[in-house]
Amino acid sequence: QIGQIRSKNRAARLLLEGIRGETPAALGANHGRVRSPRKWWAELLYALGTPQSVADDSILIQHGAALAVVRTILLGGSADERGKAVLAEHAPILRRLLDSYDGVFSTFFLSTLHRLYRLTLFGRGALGLGVGRAGWALSAIEGLDACIWLLQLRRDVPGSWNEEREESYNFWRGRANRLLLGVEALRPPNPPEYALNQAERELLHDRLGLSGDGRLLEALPDDHPYCREQNVLGCYPLPGWEQKRPLPQYKPFEDELGRAVESSEEHRCKSGLTVGEFDAKVAAAKSEKAGKRLQRHTKGGFVFCCPHRVIYGFHAMLRGESPRDPFAVLYTRLHRHNLPSFLFYDNVCKLRAYSMRREPGFFADMRALVDRFHFQKTGAEAHKCGPQYNPDYYDAVRWVNSSAV
Ligand SMILES: [Zn+2]
Ligand SMILES: [Zn+2]
C-alpha cells in the first residue's frame, strides 16, 4: 500500500511538473501561475482530485476496449483511427487530451497513465482471482510493468539500450499483449495462455453473473423465495427482465436489511444528505404542509425507461431512495451483456461507487452518467464528481433526452 501511494505521488509530481514546464516563460504579471497552452489538463486534474466516494480514478478509462488502446500507447505505440474512436466513445477526457498533443501523449503523463491503467484493470473484478497463487491479472500485468520500466530506462539513460534489453523487451511485450487482452475484456483465458484452475474459473464466472460452468442463468420461477420481495413491490414484465439471481448481503458494507453500514454510501453527491432527507428539507423550506405530506406516503416509485421514455418496469420504494434501488434491479434481473452501455440517473456517481464495490466485474463496462438536468443544476444539489459524469462529453448520447419524465 505504501508503495502504491508513493508511486501515485511520484506520478502526480511528474505530471504537475510537466504541465508547469509547458507554461510559457514570459507571462507578465501573474508569476507562478501555471498556464499550460493545452487547455484540457484542467479536466484531467479535476478528475484525479475528486473524492474517492464519488469518483475513483478508474472511471477515466473504465471500459475494457479503452484499456486495450491505453495498453498500446503505454507499450510505445500510438492510437490508430480505430483506437481514437474507442477513446472518444469510452474515455473522452483522454481523447481530448490526446488530440491536443497531436496524437502522442507527452512523456511526463505516461506514469500517471500507467497508474490509471493498473487501477482500472484491477478495479474491474479480475483481481483476487488467484486461488493459492498470484493469479491471472497480476501475472498478466507483470509483462506491461517490465516493458514500461525498460522503455523508461531507454528514455532516461542514453546508451543503456542493447541487444539483451531489446530481447527482454520483446519477450515481455509479447506476454503482456497475449495475457492482458483477456483480462481487459474479462474473457476467461485459453489454457495454453494461462490456465485458470477450477476454483478460479468458477469465481470469475460468478463475478460475470454466470453459472459456475459459464452458462447464462435461467429466469427463476415466479414463486421462488428470492423473488418474493420484488414481486410484491415491482413490475418488470418485459422479456429479459425476469429475476435471475438473488441479491446477496454484501457483508462488510451492509446490515442484514441491506442498509449501507456507512450511511454516506447512500448520500447524494454534494449535499451529504440522503435523497429522502434532501427532498424533505426542500419541501420543509417550501411549506410545512408539503413536508408532512411527503412523510406519510411511500417513498415513491422507481422507474427504468429507454431513451424514448418507454418504461421497462418500475417498483415502489418503502424506504428512502438509494443506489440500492437501481443496483438491485440491474444486478438481479439483467444478463451482463444486456446492461445498458450508458445509464442516466441523478445520483449516478454514488450508484457507480456502490456497484463497483459490490459487483465490479458485472458492472465494469456500463458507463454511468448524471442526467443533464441534475448535472447542470447549481446550488445544493449540484454534482462535484467531475467531468467524467458529464453527458455532453459522450457522443453516443449527445442527442438523447436524459430525463425520464
Ligand atoms: Zn426506446
Ligand atoms: Zn455526483
Tell me the CA–centroid distance for residue 309 and ligand 1, in Å. Answer: 7
How many other CB atoms sit within 10 Å of the CB of residue 84? 16
Per-residue pLDDT, averaged over 361-381, amounts to 86
DSSP-derived secondary structure letter, 240? T
Query: Which ligand is closest in space to the CA of residue 305?
Result: 1
Q: What is the pLDDT of residues 93-150, one digit of tens each?
A: 999 999 999 999 999 999 999 999 999 999 999 988 887 788 999 999 999 999 999 9
| Shared-domain flag, residues 117 and 229 | no
| Shared-domain flag, residues 387 and 248 | yes
CA-CA distances (angstroms) from residue 167 to 144, 163, 178, 191, 270? Answer: 15, 6, 17, 25, 52
104 assigned to some structural domain: yes
Place of cell 507527452: 106
Place of cell 457507480: 352
Enter the C-alpha cell of residue 114. 500507467
207 assigned to some structural domain: no
Whether residue 171 has pLDDT greater than 80: yes
Tell me the CA–centroid distance for residue 345 and ligand 1, in Å. Answer: 16
- Determine the Cα–Cα distance for residues 376 and 3; give it in Å rounded to an integer: 39
| Shared-domain flag, residues 272 and 178 | no
* % of the chain with per-residue pLDDT over 70: 88
Tell me the CA–centroid distance for residue 397 and ligand 2, in Å. Answer: 18
Mean pLDDT lowest among 212-226, 258-272, 349-363: 258-272
Per-residue pLDDT, averaged over 277-290, amounts to 64
Whether residue 255 has pLDDT greater than 80: yes
Its domain, for residue 293, covers 225-397
What is the predicted pLDDT for the residue at 87?
A: 97
Dihedral Cα 38, 39, 40, 45, nearest 10 deg:
100
91 assigned to some structural domain: yes
Average pLDDT, the chain: 88
Query: Where does 208-358 have alpha helices with state H?
Result: 228-233, 275-286, 288-296, 324-333, 348-358
Return all residues near 397 (Cβ < 8 A) that are at least 6 apart. 307, 342, 344, 369, 391
What is the predicted pLDDT for the residue at 402?
A: 87
Query: Which ligand is closest in space to the CA of residue 267?
Result: 2
Tell me the CA–centroid distance for residue 17 and ligand 1, in Å. Answer: 48
Enter the C-alpha cell of residue 145. 510493468
Given 200, 233, 254, which residue is the final one in a domain? 200
Given 147, 166, 200, which residue is the final one in a domain? 200
Query: Counting every residue, how long is the chain?
Result: 405
404 assigned to some structural domain: no
Burial (Cβ within 10 Å: 0-12, 13-18, ≥19) of residue 68: middle
Return all residues near 154 (Cβ < 8 A) that are at least 6 apart. 160, 161, 165
Tell me the chain's radius of gyration from C-alpha atoms.
23
| Shared-domain flag, residues 134 and 229 | no
- Determine the Cα–Cα distance for residues 130 and 139; give it in Å rounded to an integer: 10
Tell me the CA–centroid distance for residue 401 and ligand 1, in Å. Answer: 11
Strands 311-316 and 234-235: antiparallel
| Shared-domain flag, residues 239 and 187 | no
pLDDT tier at 62, thresholds 50, 70, 90: very high
206 assigned to some structural domain: no
Q: What is the pLDDT of residues 148-160, one digit of tens each?
A: 999 999 999 999 9
302 assigned to some structural domain: yes
| Shared-domain flag, residues 181 and 299 | no
| Shared-domain flag, residues 259 and 194 | no
What is the predicted pLDDT for the residue at 49?
A: 86
What is the predicted pLDDT for the residue at 33?
A: 65
- Determine the Cα–Cα distance for residues 139 and 159; give it in Å rounded to an integer: 30
- Determine the Cα–Cα distance for residues 144 and 309; give it in Å rounded to an integer: 44
pLDDT tier at 288, thresholds 50, 70, 90: low
Given 148, 167, 200, which residue is the final one in a domain? 200
Enter the C-alpha cell of residue 344. 442516466
Whether residue 282 has pLDDT greater than 80: no
Whether residue 296 has pLDDT greater than 80: no
| Shared-domain flag, residues 249 and 114 | no
Q: Helix, strand or coil for residue 235?
A: strand
pLDDT tier at 169, thresholds 50, 70, 90: very high
Return all residues near 246 (Cβ < 8 A) that are at least 6 apart. 226, 332
210 assigned to some structural domain: no
| Shared-domain flag, residues 121 and 195 | yes
Tell me the CA–centroid distance for residue 384 and ligand 2, in Å. Answer: 5
| Shared-domain flag, residues 188 and 297 | no
| Shared-domain flag, residues 173 and 77 | yes
| Shared-domain flag, residues 194 and 246 | no
220 assigned to some structural domain: no
What is the predicted pLDDT for the residue at 351?
A: 94
The answer to whether 68 and 181 have CB atoms below 8 angstroms apart is: yes
Total tally of structural domains belonging to the chain: 2
